[in-house]
C-alpha cells in the first residue's frame, strides 16, 4: 500500500522535518580531528578569529592592520568582539553565525561579557565539543582538507593516522597545480620523488607515483584544488600539463574524483593574510572541455562567483560526470544560497549537493548547518508546494528520500560510480 500523498498544507512542515532530521555528510571543511594536534581549531577565541571576522573588523576598527597582527589571539578576539558585537550589532552572516553557534551549543547567545563566554568553553574538552557540534549540526561526518605539502600534517600521515569515521580525508593539491616550482617541487624532492622543473617524462611518472602514494596513505574521498578565475584548459602551462598527464589518469585509474573549486583570486590584499583573498567570474569553458574530453572521469565542482552559478547549472546539465556542490565561501550567505539552490532545483532537479560548511573552527558546524538547512528547507518547501499546485503530490517517505539524496545519497552514489 503506497504511502498517502501529503496535502498542500502538510508540505512545508513535512519539508522542515525532513531537512532538520536528515543527518548530513559535510563534504568540504578545513576541520581536523584531535590527532592532528594544533591543526584542530576550536573554542570562542578561534571562533572570533575566523578570517571572515578579521576582514570585517578591520573595516570598522581604528587600530589598523599592523597593530591587529601584533596582538595575541585573545587580544584579537577581544578586539573583534568589541568592534563587531558591542560597538556594532552583529548583523553580518559570519557575526550572526557566532551567535547561532553559541545558542545551539548551549551557551547564552545574549551574553555580552566575552570572559563569561570563555568560561563556558573552558568547561568542555575537545572530544566533548566534537560530539556537541556534530549533534547540533546533525552531521555524521566531515571531509577534511588534507595537504601533503604541509610538513606538520604530513608527519601525522607518515606515522600512519588511524582511520576516523567522523573526519574523512580529502587530498588537496593546490601547491602542485598552482605553485609547482616554488612550493611543490621542493616537497616532492624532500619526500624522495625524482621530480624536476622541466616536467620530464620521468618527472611526470614520479608525480603520478606521489599522487598514488598519498591516495594509498590517506584513502581520500576525492582530490581537490582551488583555481583562479583565469583557469584555462587545455593550457600550455605547468598546471595544464600536470592535470592532463598526472591528475586525470590517476583520478580515473584509482577511482578518486577530481574536485575543482574555481574563481578564487588569492591575496588581493596580502596585509589581511588568510582574509586577503577575493573572487571573480571564471571561464566555464575550461570545465566544459575537461568534462567533455574525459567522460569516464568523475568531477566535483563549486564556483566562487555568483555570476558563474547559472551557467554552471547549464554546464552540469551537459555532463553526468560532473557533480555540483555547495555554496562556497562568499556564496554562503542566505540571499545567495536561496538564489543558487532555487536555480539548481529548477535546472538540475535533485542531482546536486546543496551545501558544505567549509568550517575551519569546529563550532562553526553549529551555525553553518542550521543556517543552511533554514534556507535550503524554505526553497524545497516552495518547490514541493509548486509541484502539488501543478498536480503532483509527494508522500512524506518520498520527501525524505529526496532530502537524503541531497544531503548524503547523491555524493555516496557519485563516489560508488567513480570507484
Q: How far apart are CA 172 and CA 76, in angstroms?
A: 29
- Considering the complex, what minimum distance in angstroms separates the CB of residue 71 from ligand HDL? 21
- Considering the complex, what minimum distance in angstroms separates the CB of residue 353 from ligand HDL? 15
Site pattern 15..54 for Zn ion (x: CB under 5 A): ----------------------------------------
- Closer Cβ to ligand HDL, 226 or 308, answer by number: 226
56 binding Zn ion? (CB under 5 A)? no
- Considering the complex, what minimum distance in angstroms separates the CB of residue 30 from ligand HDL? 6
- Closer Cβ to ligand HDL, 360 or 371, answer by number: 360
- Closer Cβ to ligand HDL, 319 or 329, answer by number: 329
Q: Which residues of 174-196 are buried (b: 16+ CB within 10 A; e: fewer)?
A: bbbbbebeeebbebbeeeebebe
Residues 6+ apart with CB under 8 A from 26: 137, 139, 141, 142, 143, 356, 357, 359, 365, 369
Residue owning grid cell 560530539? 131
358 binding Zn ion? (CB under 5 A)? yes
- Helices 201-218 + 151-159 axis angle, to 10: 60
**Rounded to 10 degrees, what is the CA torsion of 206, 212, 217, 223?**
120
- Closer Cβ to ligand HDL, 309 or 351, answer by number: 309
- Considering the complex, what minimum distance in angstroms separates the CB of residue 329 from ligand HDL? 4
- Closer Cβ to ligand HDL, 97 or 377, answer by number: 97
- Closer Cβ to ligand HDL, 24 or 54, answer by number: 54
Three cell numbers, residue 87: 560597538
- Closer Cβ to ligand HDL, 272 or 396, answer by number: 272
Q: How far apart are CA 261 and CA 315, in angstroms?
A: 15
The span of 185-193, 240-248, 335-343, 355-363 binding Zn ion (CB under 5 A) equals 355-363
> DSSP class of residue 335?
H
The option from Zn ion, ligand HDL, none interacting with 368 (CB < 5 to 8 A, set by class) reads none
The span of 83-91, 115-123, 314-322, 357-365 binding Zn ion (CB under 5 A) equals 357-365
Distances (CA, A) of 417 to 238, 249, 383, 402: 30, 16, 28, 19
The option from ligand HDL, Zn ion, none interacting with 226 (CB < 5 to 8 A, set by class) reads ligand HDL
- Closer Cβ to Zn ion, 322 or 331, answer by number: 331
The residue among 28, 77, 21 whose CA lies nearest residue 49 is: 77
The residue among 152, 142, 154, 165 whose CA lies nearest residue 30 is: 142
Longest dimension (CA), the chain: 69
Q: How far apart are CA 418 and CA 114, in angstroms?
A: 48
- Considering the complex, what minimum distance in angstroms separates the CB of residue 96 from Zn ion? 20
- Closer Cβ to ligand HDL, 54 or 388, answer by number: 54
The option from ligand HDL, Zn ion, none interacting with 345 (CB < 5 to 8 A, set by class) reads none
- Considering the complex, what minimum distance in angstroms separates the CB of residue 218 from ligand HDL? 17
Distance separating the N- and C-terminal Cα atoms of the chain: 36
The option from ligand HDL, Zn ion, none interacting with 360 (CB < 5 to 8 A, set by class) reads ligand HDL
The option from ligand HDL, Zn ion, none interacting with 161 (CB < 5 to 8 A, set by class) reads none
Which residues contact ligand HDL by CB under 6 A?
A: 30, 145, 226, 261, 274, 329, 358, 360
Nearest residue to Zn ion on Cβ basis: 358
- Collapsing DSSP to helix, strand or coil, 36 comes out as helix
- Considering the complex, what minimum distance in angstroms separates the CB of residue 224 from ligand HDL? 8
- Considering the complex, what minimum distance in angstroms separates the CB of residue 183 from ligand HDL? 15
- Considering the complex, what minimum distance in angstroms separates the CB of residue 358 from Zn ion? 4
**Rounded to 10 degrees, what is the CA torsion of 213, 219, 223, 224?**
-120
Three cell numbers, residue 1: 500500500
The option from Zn ion, ligand HDL, none interacting with 208 (CB < 5 to 8 A, set by class) reads none
- Collapsing DSSP to helix, strand or coil, 328 comes out as coil
The option from Zn ion, ligand HDL, none interacting with 239 (CB < 5 to 8 A, set by class) reads none
- Closer Cβ to ligand HDL, 85 or 329, answer by number: 329
Q: How far apart are CA 312 and CA 344, in angstroms?
A: 9
361 cis-preceded (ω within 30 degrees of 0)? no
The residue among 168, 193, 164 whose CA lies nearest residue 256 is: 168
Contacts to Zn ion from residues 327-346, by CB under 5 A: none
Q: Which residues bind Zn ion (CB under 5 A)?
A: 358
Amino acid at each position: 500500500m503506497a504511502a498517502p500523498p501529503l496535502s498542500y498544507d502538510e508540505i512545508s512542515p513535512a519539508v522542515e522535518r525532513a531537512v532538520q532530521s536528515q543527518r548530513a555528510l559535510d563534504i568540504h571543511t578545513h576541520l581536523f580531528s584531535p590527532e592532528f594536534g594544533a591543526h584542530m581549531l576550536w573554542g570562542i577565541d578561534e571562533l572570533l578569529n575566523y578570517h571572515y571576522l578579521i576582514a570585517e573588523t578591520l573595516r570598522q576598527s581604528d587600530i589598523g592592520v599592523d597593530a591587529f597582527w601584533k596582538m595575541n589571539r585573545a587580544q584579537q578576539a577581544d578586539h573583534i568582539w568589541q568592534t563587531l558585537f558591542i560597538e556594532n550589532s552583529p548583523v553580518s552572516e559570519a557575526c550572526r553565525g557566532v551567535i547561532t553557534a553559541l545558542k545551539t551549543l548551549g551557551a547564552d547567545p545574549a551574553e555580552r561579557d566575552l570572559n563569561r563566554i570563555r568560561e563556558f568553553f573552558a568547561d568542555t574538552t575537545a572530544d566533548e565539543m566534537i560530539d556537541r557540534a556534530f549533534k547540533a549540526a546533525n552531521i555524521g561526518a566531515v571531509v577534511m582538507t588534507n595537504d601533503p605539502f604541509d610538513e606538520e600534517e604530513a608527519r601525522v600521515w607518515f606515522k600512519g593516522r588511524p582511520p576516523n569515521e567522523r573526519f574523512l580525508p580529502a587530498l588537496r593539491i593546490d601547491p602542485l597545480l598552482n605553485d609547482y616550482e616554488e612550493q611543490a617541487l621542493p616537497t616532492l624532492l624532500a619526500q624522495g620523488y625524482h621530480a624536476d622543473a622541466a616536467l620530464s617524462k620521468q618527472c611526470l611518472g614520479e608525480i603520478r607515483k606521489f599522487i598514488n602514494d598519498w591516495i594509498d596513505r590517506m584513502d581520500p574521498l576525492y582530490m581537490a584544488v582551488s583555481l583562479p578565475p583565469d583557469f584555462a584548459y587545455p593550457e600550455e602551462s605547468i598546471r595544464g600539463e600536470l592535470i592532463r598527464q598526472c591528475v586525470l589518469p590517476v583520478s580515473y585509474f584509482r577511482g578518486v574524483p577530481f574536485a575543482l573549486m574555481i574563481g578564487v583570486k588569492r591575496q588581493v590584499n596580502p596585509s589581511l593574510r588568510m582574509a586577503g583573498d577575493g573572487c571573480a567570474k571564471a571561464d566555464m569553458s575550461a570545465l566544459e572541455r575537461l568534462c567533455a574530453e574525459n567522460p569516464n572521469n568523475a568531477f566535483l565542482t563549486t564556483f566562487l562567483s555568483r555570476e558563474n552559478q547559472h551557467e554552471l547549472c547549464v554546464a552540469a546539465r551537459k555532463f553526468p560526470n560532473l557533480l555540483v556542490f555547495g555554496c562556497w565561501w562568499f556564496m554562503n550567505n542566505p540571499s545567495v544560497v536561496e538564489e543558487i539552490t532555487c536555480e539548481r532545483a529548477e535546472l538540475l532537479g535533485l542531482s546536486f549537493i546543496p551545501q558544505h560548511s567549509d568550517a575551519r573552527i569546529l563550532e562553526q558546524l553549529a551555525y553553518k548547518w542550521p543556517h543552511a538547512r533554514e534556507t535550503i528547507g524554505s526553497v524545497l518547501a516552495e518547490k514541493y508546494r509548486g509541484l502539488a499546485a501543478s498536480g503532483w503530490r509527494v508522500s512524506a517517505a518520498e520527501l525524505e528520500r529526496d532530502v537524503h539524496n541531497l544531503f548524503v545519497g547523491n555524493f555516496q552514489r557519485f563516489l560508488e560510480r567513480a570507484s
